Structure 1
Amino acid sequence: MRDFQFPGRSPVRATEAMAATSHPLATLAAIDMLRSGGNAMDAAVCAAAVQAVVEPQSTGIGGDCFVLYSPKGQGAVLAFNGSGRAPTAATAEWYLGKGYDGLPESGPHAVTVPGAIDAWCRLLDDHGRKGIDAALAPAIRYAEQGYVVHDRVAFDWADSFDLLAADEHAARIFLPDGKAPQAGDLHRQPQLADTLRIVSQRGRAGFYEGEIAEDIVGRLRALGGLHALEDFAATKGEYVRPVGTSYRGYDVFQMPPSNQGMTALIMLNVLSAFALGSLEPDSAERLHLEIEAGRLAYQDRDNFIGDQNFVQVPVEQLLSVGHADRLRAAIDPERAMTHLPRLELQPSDTVYISVVDRDRNAVSFINSTYGSFGSGVVGPKTGVVLQNRGSSFRLAVDHPNRIAPGKRPMHTIMPGMVTEKGRAVMPFGVMGGGYQPFGHVHLLTNMFDFGMDPQQALDAPRVFYKDNAVLVERGIPASAIAGLRKRGHQVSVAEKPHGGGQLVLIDWDEGTLTGASDPRKDGCALGY
């Protein structure tokens, strides 16, 4: 139990249903959907659509999504890959011939075809009770009538001023009066409202065919992009088999490659042989082990993970006990490793949604345009912000993530699902681009090794290894920083918080739900 004399908040507890998102309006929309007869999938898509309006820096219908789903909390966990692909004309040779040494982080060549709308429509058709029209209704209302800009949204928005100012249509929509909106300002996106209304009426075809696709492709082509209308029309997500491992008696599931989710599983496998629970949770001893396990797992990520339709990824080998033993042998509890290559990991803006309904359908749902405001490219008539997921591709020969026509990039956004004895016990996620495997592992070990409740586990201070340095949040104690430096780590204080997360914990014996939402974002958990 937390000390009520210190800042913080309690977990949210209920019996019927629970939703947790990074924005209050999205959480409320999910609860309204559940109370009106929708199920967890309806609520998750509805919340994601609202966030595509009210958190425009983090997500949108010009991005991608991934979903883990446990129907009635029983049996096999389903996984859906709703990520888009490179244009058919995009080859590594084309970029090399034009003098590129890598894919840009913004502009048309950073844009992969958005997969979110295809995924939303498919998931609602297969698992929802209500249609896309009902799911989009609150988002249309906020886009048309306006929404109040929340504090974390405003914080991120201001940081993206230069990117938005570089695109006339982005500037017109997102820099009204020539400046980023501040917390408390009212903002509207009427063009996006019209776009969402078309999708609500025509479904998937309304986005990938006709005037919306023509507006987006026309803008990309005008900027020099390689996209074609045929690339949009061919967009189709797919069900895939999740990957998993066991940790402290629980089964933890992630998306398979092209997703980076198994990076977290490799970290858990390495850490499983250490008695973490005997250490202090914010100690240098614990954080050092987490950092070193992460450095090893990310090396595997960068060496092996790519689109399995194009490259063979040795999933079973990477998740094997023997591989974890070999990695673990390289860790010295008293000294940082010096032989590993530099990790150039990028944070990003994303939204994660966790929903469980009265039937115990459990949804772990993540949606993103990658960097803040994605590529910075916006459809002139549609108001659609396009993701910059293509910036993850590489041009090096034989790299598993080398760009190719119709290939998916190695993807950072990763929903998580924990089960026990064949029943879902926790859809969870921690946002933040390359940080996400660290975030998943830190959250799970906080709960399963240190006995923290869900809110405490999200509140706890975090570290991230990036560019050969350990970035610590201000909540990490001075003694831990000193201990990390003694072990050879370069340590500095992070300029921004690491990620943000949500979860819903299912107690099958008591028949209760416990929700939590990260204080690093504006959101909340609500249940009834």
Structure 2
Amino acid sequence: MPTTVGKKVVASQNYLASYIGAKVLEMGGNAFDASVAISATLSVVLPYTSGLGGDGLLLARTPEGLVAFNSTGWAPKNLRIDKIEPRGPNSVVIPGLVELWRMMQEYTTMDLSKLLEPAIKLAVNGFYVGRGLHHAIVDSPRLSQDWLEIYGNKRFGDIIKLKKLGEVLKKVSKDPRSFYEGDLAEEIVAELKTRGVPVEVEDFSEFKGESVNLVKSTYRDYQVYEFPPNTQGLTTLQILKMVEMTEINKLPYNDVRRVNEHVRIASLAYEDRDTYIADPRFHEVPKFLLDKSYLQRRMLEGGIEPKVRGDGDTTFFVVADEENQVGMIQSLFQPFGSGIVAREIVFNNRGDNFTEGINKPEGRKRPLHTLSVLYAEGKGEELIIGCAGGDLRPQIHSEVFEYYVDYTMELDEAVNAPRFMFTGNKVIAESRLGVPSTKLEPYSPQVGIVQALKTHKGRHIAVADPRSEGMALPV
């Protein structure tokens, strides 16, 4: 079921995760409880997208207002390198997902041990390889000997057991900070060191996630929010503001003139991203990036060809109860991240997001981050949109939101509608869009895997993208 309506709903990229989240809601848990359970389940059954070795962001609408947590990791303090190999040991940053679970305990109502129990059982007793995991394994290079031993010969329908990961989850279920402090953290750091990662115990023990204020703009009749730097959320807002200023969406959505101008706008926004956005603790982000006068001048300029990659892998899900709406995203960056494995945990390669200039690699610095979540409110309704999509995320968020607002599609239609993407040196598009481009299959995960939530008059519509094995369920 890719779309559902109800007073309590879930939608994720994996049917098991959606089912487990729905069961938590059914047992009386709230949306934060269900989100922790879904997050942990995805960490086991979709290990190429995310996990304990990766990071995460959470955006929620609660009765008290908006909540936003950024738990993206920093580079080890001893990192001493100018250029990072995409999947080498220097690409690993301190993972933040488990810390995000700790932060969420301020809003959960159930014991963490109960919420992690389904994921622990799947890890210890085994789970079947799904279609997405199958393709990720087949398409991956030989990442490491540890990775090969766990995943290398597994195919669709095979069983994978991760008993060491299950043991880690059991310890985390008693105290999430044990992942960062104490014996477990020391064991993980020791294993990572043997694999060449320049990490120290202090890099883990001193890491904390943070509560952040979202950046805000307007689009038509909506207030639109995104995550601030170190994420690329501002890039989405820039695209939307420039689209609104050009009125290109008065053209049919598949008009080649609209597509071409949208691509040009995206290229300008990405150029600004690469010029101005980095970890704000190292470099302050200019305040003018969303000013209308600045964007008007910007659209008169030519731009260099920015670096845009679409090879990231991530997973996003939405959950809502009768009081709260949650969107949560978690990631390793590329499929299976660095490929480095410790205690059956696959570690991220987020350090590959470092570039040069203000975003150059430095110890205890967070790279410019591809993760973000879009939240919008207006006309008596609220929307949460998120996706897997790497560098393409700002385009995916803006296109889906524009379909909903400008082309009067319902939310599921906006998610299903054909998308196009500027990838830095070409335009790719699903074949059903019917525009000149590098043609993709009609429903291609290369243009992102979106989950979305709409809340209106006390009911929720949850959407799972048909481009994956995801599922939306009511409770």
Tell me the TM-score normalized by structure 1: 0.86
Could you tell me which of 342, 364, 371 is aligned with 1:413? 371
What is the distance in 1 between the residues matched to 2:3 and 2:85? 41
- Cα offsets for 1:62-85 (capped at 9, x unmatched): 10001111113x63x221111110
8 Å CA contact retained: 1:53, 1:139 = yes
What is the distance in 2 between the residues matched to 1:424 and 1:447? 12
What is the distance in 2 between the residues matched to 1:286 and 1:341? 19
C-alpha distance 193-310 of structure 1, shift in aligned 2 (>3 A): same
- Aligned pairs for 1:85-484 (under 5 A) are 85-90=74-79, 94-96=80-82, 102-124=83-105, 126-163=106-143, 167-175=144-152, 179=153, 181-201=154-174, 203-314=175-286, 316-330=287-301, 339-359=303-323, 361-379=324-342, 382-394=343-355, 396=356, 399-420=357-378, 425-477=382-434, 480-481=435-436
What is the distance in 1 between the residues matched to 2:228 and 2:459? 30
Matching of residue 37 in structure 1 with residue 28 in structure 2: yes
8 Å CA contact retained: 2:2, 2:471 = no
- Cα offsets for 1:294-337 (capped at 9, x unmatched): 101000100000111110111x310111122223334xxxxxx6
Q: CA RMSD in A?
A: 1.7
* Per-residue deviation, 1:276: 4.0
Code of the residue aligned with 1:317 in structure 2: it is F
| 1:25 paired residue number | 16
What is the distance in 2 between the residues matched to 1:492 and 1:342? 19
| 2:3 paired residue number | 11
Code of the residue aligned with 2:71 in structure 1: it is G
What is the distance in 2 between the residues matched to 1:58 and 1:280? 34
C-alpha distance 186-10 of structure 1, shift in aligned 2 (>3 A): closer
* Per-residue deviation, 1:135: 1.9
What is the distance in 2 between the residues matched to 1:20 and 1:289? 32
- Cα offsets for 1:365-418 (capped at 9, x unmatched): 100111100100000xx2111000011113x3xx12112221111110112211
8 Å CA contact retained: 1:11, 1:454 = no
8 Å CA contact retained: 1:431, 1:439 = no
Q: Secondary structure at the match of 2:433?
A: coil
Code of the residue aligned with 1:122 in structure 2: it is M
8 Å CA contact retained: 2:274, 2:306 = no
Please identify the structure whose Cα radius of gyration is greater: 1
What is the distance in 2 between the residues matched to 1:95 and 1:520? 38
What is the distance in 2 between the residues matched to 1:236 and 1:355? 25
Counting aligned pairs with the same residue, the percent is: 31
What is the distance in 2 between the residues matched to 1:67 and 1:521? 22
Q: Secondary structure at the match of 2:225?
A: strand
8 Å CA contact retained: 1:417, 1:424 = no
| 1:526 paired residue number | 473
8 Å CA contact retained: 1:22, 1:502 = yes
8 Å CA contact retained: 2:13, 2:468 = yes
| 1:99 paired residue number | none
* Per-residue deviation, 1:229: 0.7
Matching of residue 65 in structure 1 with residue 56 in structure 2: yes
| Count of residues paired in the alignment | 472
Q: Secondary structure at the match of 2:341?
A: coil
Code of the residue aligned with 1:207 in structure 2: it is F
* Per-residue deviation, 1:291: 1.1
Code of the residue aligned with 1:80 in structure 2: it is F
8 Å CA contact retained: 1:424, 1:506 = yes
Code of the residue aligned with 2:151 in structure 1: it is F
* Per-residue deviation, 1:210: 3.1
* Per-residue deviation, 1:196: 0.5
Q: Secondary structure at the match of 1:129?
A: coil
What is the distance in 2 between the residues matched to 1:472 and 1:216? 42
Q: Secondary structure at the match of 2:216?
A: strand
| 1:498 paired residue number | 447
Code of the residue aligned with 2:391 in structure 1: it is G
8 Å CA contact retained: 1:66, 1:80 = yes
| 1:78 paired residue number | 67
Q: Secondary structure at the match of 1:400?
A: helix
C-alpha distance 293-467 of structure 1, shift in aligned 2 (>3 A): closer
C-alpha distance 211-521 of structure 1, shift in aligned 2 (>3 A): farther
What is the distance in 2 between the residues matched to 1:514 and 1:413? 23
- Unmatched tracts of structure 1, length 5 or more: 1-8, 97-101, 331-336, 482-490
8 Å CA contact retained: 2:419, 2:430 = yes
What is the distance in 2 between the residues matched to 1:78 and 1:62? 24
* Per-residue deviation, 1:277: 4.2
What is the distance in 2 between the residues matched to 1:214 and 1:269? 47
What is the distance in 1 between the residues matched to 2:312 and 2:374? 18
8 Å CA contact retained: 1:295, 1:343 = no
* Per-residue deviation, 1:161: 4.2
What is the distance in 2 between the residues matched to 1:424 and 1:226? 47
Code of the residue aligned with 2:159 in structure 1: it is L
Code of the residue aligned with 1:318 in structure 2: it is L
Code of the residue aligned with 1:432 in structure 2: it is G
* Per-residue deviation, 1:239: 0.5
C-alpha distance 513-520 of structure 1, shift in aligned 2 (>3 A): same
What is the distance in 2 between the residues matched to 1:387 and 1:128? 27
